[in-house]
Amino acid sequence: MAKLQEGDLAPEFTLQTIDGSVSLADELEKADKGVVVYFYPKAMTPGCTTEACDFRDSENSLKGAGYTVIGISPDSVESLQKFVDRDNLNFPLASDPEREVLEAYGAFGEKKNYGKIVQGVIRSTFVVGKDGLISSAQYNVKATGHVGRLRKILGIDS
């Protein structure tokens, strides 16, 4: 599994959400500075809920700084609908059941889960600039406090 790095061209994607489809190209066109693309293992699990709610709570300041957010998981659109409804999420969650986008970003592969090596989603976040290049690539992020750390990288918080 190849991991993406700063300066790499972000793989393009179009995926289904509860409101239709979302593509990286369309979101980059609309964003002032770029798009935050984050990958998470499973909707409505504790860590993924923490991370999603942190993005929800930071959505206005991220947008104010010129960034939009897209969350991607292998969950079905139906599961994503429940997640959005339950937690009042205010940004697109995209379904990648075939894991093609997850794999293109290096966010699916071997990882440790409770001390065992398993195949699964690697919690990862990428900041894609208006030029389509990755300005930040983070793998194996911890859900708790991740958005706060990302806000510092983006210069939103000092």
Catalytic residue set: 48
Cα separation, 120 vs 113, whole angstroms = 9
95, 17 in Cβ contact below 8 A? yes
Residue 35 phi/psi, 5° resolution? -125, 135
Cα separation, 138 vs 127, whole angstroms = 9
Dihedral (Cα; 112, 16, 58, 114), 10-degree rounding: -10
- Which pair of tokens denotes residue 56? 């929800």
Strand runs labelled E in 45-129:
67-73, 93-95, 108-113, 116-121, 124-129
